Amino acid sequence: MAAKITGQTHRLRIYVGESDRYHHQALYHAIVIEARKRGLAGATVFRGIEGYGPSKRIHTANMLDLSTDLPIVIEIIDSEEYLKPFITMLDAMMTSGMITLDPVNVVHYGLAERSMMDKPSDE
């Protein structure tokens, strides 16, 4: 059973390109797999529709200029004590990109399974 996370914790954001690779697989996928192996609370991958990085080259999902290297953001929420060693490990996986760490306040974290009996009535 997963630990309950509420209150002050941290958000790790990892910015990479869709075409970035790690050991012949997508880097974003390798990061999610590694986060799961290490027991982090969860990870979500967002695919951007447009962006640019240090090269200043715009990557876009525009149909006239279809990029094969759209921006990807991997977001992980967990305590700083678990995220700091993970960040150190990311250095070996990433050759480019950016990593940020922000304090966040978790209001709710848990499984989405609720029966109709658990829902409040409209009375």
The total number of structural domains that make up the chain: 1
pLDDT of residue 55: 72
Q: Is residue 12 part of a domain?
A: yes
Question: Domain for residue 120, yes or no?
Answer: no
Residue 101 lies in a domain: yes
Query: So what's the pLDDT on residue 70?
Result: 86
Residue 19 gets the label, from left (phi > 0), alpha (psi -120 to 50) or beta, of alpha
Report if residue 77 sits inside a domain.
Answer: yes
User: What pLDDT is recorded for position 4?
Assistant: 63
User: What H or E segment, with its residue span, contains residue 13?
Assistant: strand 7-17
| Residue 23 belongs to domain with CATH number | 3.30.70.120
In a domain, 116, yes or no: no
Residue 93 falls inside a structural domain: yes
Q: Decide if 95 is inside a domain.
A: yes
Name the residue range of residue 71's domain: 8-108
Backbone angles phi, psi at 25, to 5 degrees: -135, 165
Q: Note down pLDDT in tens along the chain; length 123 residues.
A: 455 677 899 999 999 999 899 999 999 999 999 999 999 999 999 998 777 777 777 766 665 555 567 899 999 999 999 999 999 999 999 999 999 999 999 887 776 555 555 555 555
**Contact in structure between 115 and 40 (CB atoms under 8 Å):** no
